[in-house]
Amino acid sequence: MTGEKLVNLNVNLAGLKLTNPTMLASGILGYSSETLESIAENGAGAVVTKSIGLKPRVGYANPTIVQTKCGLINAMGLPNPGIKEFVREIRATKKVLKVPLVVSIYGFSTEEYAKVAEKAVGAGADAVELNVSCPHVKETGSEIGQNPKILAQVIKAVKLKVDKPVFVKLSPNVTSIADIAETAEKAGADALTAINTVKAMAIDAETAMPILSNKVGGLSGPAIKPVALRCVYEVYERVKVPIVGCGGITSWRDAVEFLLAGASAIQMGTAIALKGANVFKTVSRGIEAYLKRKGFRSVKEIVGLSHRR
Amino acid sequence: MSAYPTAANKHRTTRLLNIKTESPTVKTFTFKDKQCAKAKPGQFLMLWIPGIDEIPLSILDADKNGTVSVAVKKVGEATKALHELKAGETIGVRGPFGNSFTVKKGKILMVGGGTGLAPLLFLAKKLALEKAKIFMVMGAKTREELLFKEVFEKICGKENLVATTEDGSYGVKGLATTPLERILAKEKLDIIYTCGPEKMMRKVFDLAETRGIAVEASLERLMRCAIGLCGSCVIGKYRVCRDGPVFTVNQLREVKGEFGVSKRDFDGKLIPLG
């Protein structure tokens, strides 16, 4: 058609160049170069690995996941082979991956976060995402992200060691996510991912037992979308750094809502179980069609648009 | 409804209806579960032993009346606890998960070892309805551990069944793969279905490749989420829980480097297959 505007799905996320705003969320697949590559082939604009720590971790015993009516509750317990082993996977992934590789990182101390981040970037990570929001492992994750003082220390320590963008993944399990976001930005975060899972549990009525071996875990999936959307909206009002929206996104419409709330890109994980791995392609095509229909030329034009209405 | 019934497949509990001792180490557990009763041969379920563990199990049988059976070998803490349960006690169920064997007509060979015979029996019952000609090779360590031999004999015919035992206490002494070359040389097969120890399946695959015969193998890996998210069960670019557990010969070729060679450990690290 003549006169039709070309829509550009490119996103510059704190220096990372994405060809579309969809990303694989951390914790989903992400152990191996083959699976990360296959997610990219399914249309993800960038991929985030499973959270990697300094030492190997076997995670919790099963049940590590509960399928409920409204979403999934998981307490995997951060299983990962440790950074020393994982640098090989990062190198192998970088050889084949055509989209930016973000390595998710956790630690039990400021030093651990910094050490792991340094090694990940050294091996070729295009960015790191600090997991300061895992709701089910003690002395890391949300226990760091809920404490502004420690959170700032961790971010500063990582920033000193790496010259690549540092994403900080925020927990919704706080009194004010905007306050925490501001703390993270001041400490040097280049981008913020909102949100990690919502702390939750499941109890079986027949046996009167908590189902997860860890008893508590994190809720993901469509149930948390409205919570995540509100978090992104609140964070956008307080910070200048880009926000990556995450939580319950399974369709292009969900994704667009997050962009309108203030996210520059979005992440999906549970959607893979609900819609299949090609959800990345269908969502980015849907975003493209939406932009076209509404007369926009780029993703950037609608980021935070709902704040002006 | 979404493309996958994950959202509808929520955790539920049921009671054990019947427990049957199959061998000194294997028991069959039967219970009611509407969703798993619709399972196809090759699919698996996640069984929760309350307060102990949740384990993946191949479905042995699924009946229209709503009952489901699984055969469980006592190998560790979880299966030991399950073996101690009595009829009437409560278990949790999720599933069915994964793909299934394709039901082919024609000349078929099944090669099964240990509890790998469970999904093959489920499949054999379906194939019998299609009037397929089934040759069966079943292996176990000892005579007592040869599972479902009488039922297989009934389905395939005694003359078409070869049993192997590692200690030579019954049938051919050796592994399930021992009599294979002889059968492959004699019969023009349309497909081989295999389930059991992965090194056995790798041998079956390698032999089939030399003769260009189609293979479907049901693989096993560490399972956590069972819905294709956690990555615990990946082999190559495939997730055993979602893209498998049944893999075609073409897919097996793609994962040759890992098939029968290595698996991912609890920490996600690749380790040699035991």
Quote the minimal CA–CA distance from A168 to chain B in Å: 21
**Position B59 confidence tier, pLDDT thresholds 50, 70, 90:** very high
Residue A214 predicted with pLDDT over 80: yes
- Of the candidates B10, B236, B237, the beta carbon closest to that of A68 is on B10
Q: Where are the domains of chain B?
A: 5-96, 107-272
Q: What is the mean pLDDT of chain B?
A: 93
- Of the candidates B2, B3, B9, the beta carbon closest to that of A67 is on B9
Residue A188 lies inside a defined structural domain of this protein: yes
- Specify the CATH superfamily of domain B5-96: Translation factors (2.40.30.10)
Residue B3 predicted with pLDDT over 50: no
pLDDT: is B58 or B7 the higher one? B58
B162-180 pLDDT, tens digit per residue, is: 999 999 999 999 998 989 9
Residues ≥6 apart with Cβ < 8 Å to B254: B236, B237, B238
Query: Please, are residues B38 and B51 in contact by the beta-carbon 8 Å criterion?
Result: no
pLDDT in the model for residue A4 = 58
Say yes or no: B5 contacts chain A, CB-CB below 8 A: no
Query: Across residues B200-217, what is the average pLDDT?
Result: 96
pLDDT in the model for residue B8 = 67
Rounded to whole angstroms, how far apart are CA atoms B177 and A88? 36
**Position A143 confidence tier, pLDDT thresholds 50, 70, 90:** confident
* Chain A residues within 8 A of B13 when measuring between CB atoms: 204, 206-207
pTM over 0.95: no
Residue B6 predicted with pLDDT over 70: no
Residue A63 lies inside a defined structural domain of this protein: no
The chain B residue lying nearest A86, using CA atoms, is B269
CB within 8 Å: A209 and B237 = no
Residue A289 lies inside a defined structural domain of this protein: yes
Residue A4 lies inside a defined structural domain of this protein: no
Say yes or no: B225 contacts chain A, CB-CB below 8 A: yes
Mutate to test the interface with A, among B90, B93, B237, B256 (most CBs of A within 10 A): B237
The CATH number given to B107-272 is: 3.40.50.80
Burial class (CB in 10 A: 0-12, 13-18, 19+), B5: exposed
- Of the candidates A35, A74, A85, the beta carbon closest to that of B237 is on A35
Residue A205 lies inside a defined structural domain of this protein: no
Domain harbouring A134, CATH code: 3.20.20.70
Give me the active site residues of A, please: 134
Q: Identify the CA nearest to B112 among candidates B233, B3, B216.
A: B216
- Of the candidates A79, A213, A275, the beta carbon closest to that of B2 is on A275
B26-32, strands of its sheet edge to edge: B53-58, B44-49, B90-97, B12-21, B26-32, B67-73, B61-62
pLDDT in the model for residue B43 = 97
Sole residue written with tokens 């997991």? A131
Residue A107 predicted with pLDDT over 90: yes
The chain A residue lying nearest B12, using CA atoms, is A204
Query: Across residues B242-265, what is the average pLDDT?
Result: 96
**Position A11 confidence tier, pLDDT thresholds 50, 70, 90:** very high
**Position B2 confidence tier, pLDDT thresholds 50, 70, 90:** very low
The chain B residue lying nearest A268, using CA atoms, is B229
The count of structural domains within chain A is 1
CB within 8 Å: A207 and B90 = yes
**Position B1 confidence tier, pLDDT thresholds 50, 70, 90:** very low
In chain A, helix, strand, coil percent, each to 5? Answer: 40, 20, 40
Domain that holds residue A125: 11-56+75-197+221-308
What are the tokens at B43?
């699919």
Quote the minimal CA–CA distance from A37 to chain B in Å: 8
Q: What is the DSSP-derived secondary structure letter of residue B126?
A: H
* Chain A residues within 8 A of B228 when measuring between CB atoms: 272-273, 277
A233-250 pLDDT, tens digit per residue, is: 999 999 999 999 999 999
pLDDT in the model for residue A187 = 97
Residue A240 lies inside a defined structural domain of this protein: yes
ipTM score: 0.91
Residue A215 lies inside a defined structural domain of this protein: no
Mutate to test the interface with B, among A36, A62, A73, A93 (most CBs of B within 10 A): A62
